[in-house]
Amino acid sequence: MAALQPLPLPESTALETPAVLRQLTRAHRQLAELKGAAGTIPNESILIDTLALQEAKDSSEIENIITTEDELFQGDAVAAQFPTLATKEVHSYASALKLGFERVRAQKFLRLGDVLVIQSTLLESRTGLRTLPGTPWPMWKP
């Protein structure tokens, strides 16, 4: 596989400006604080699950899938019981997000099969790829 070439930037583009370096220092400090706080939580996955749910909730609002924080945390993904259909969809989104993250972390990339598994988690079906002319239909393998 060929290595990707870096995008060309004009030589006049200053990347290490004082403003950028100040923000970098601030971000580094805040990440260190978060890392320290996360280390005090007995089960760090609680923090990750909460962040995934919040991201799923905010992203779903773009598609007019609206749920409240209360409904979101009343939902029980293990028992598959949710107060609203929107809450169920947000939980599915969060599950797909975490699955994708785990696959990227383990493999460092995503294959088409991974994308199809993530899609099936999100949609709770094996919809697969669109069958438009010129679009190959691969074998669906989880």
- pLDDT, one tens digit per residue, over 62-107 is 888 898 888 888 877 767 788 888 888 888 888 898 899 889 989 9
Question: Quick one: what percent of the chain has pLDDT higher than 70?
Answer: 85
- Cα separations (Å) of 126 from 100, 110, 113, 116? 16, 18, 12, 8
> What is the residue-averaged pLDDT of the chain?
82
For residue 135, the model assigns a pLDDT of: 55
For residue 140, the model assigns a pLDDT of: 47
State the number of CA atoms in the 13 A half-sphere of 113 facing the CB: 6
131 has a pLDDT exceeding 70: no
> Lowest-confidence range among 39-43, 63-67, 114-118, 136-140?
136-140
- pLDDT, one tens digit per residue, over 8-24 is 777 777 888 899 999 99
Residue 142: band (very low, low, confident or very high) from pLDDT cuts 50, 70, 90: very low
Distance CA 78, CA 92 (A): 11
For residue 25, the model assigns a pLDDT of: 95
- Cα separations (Å) of 91 from 28, 66, 111, 122, 125? 31, 12, 23, 9, 15
pTM over 0.75: no
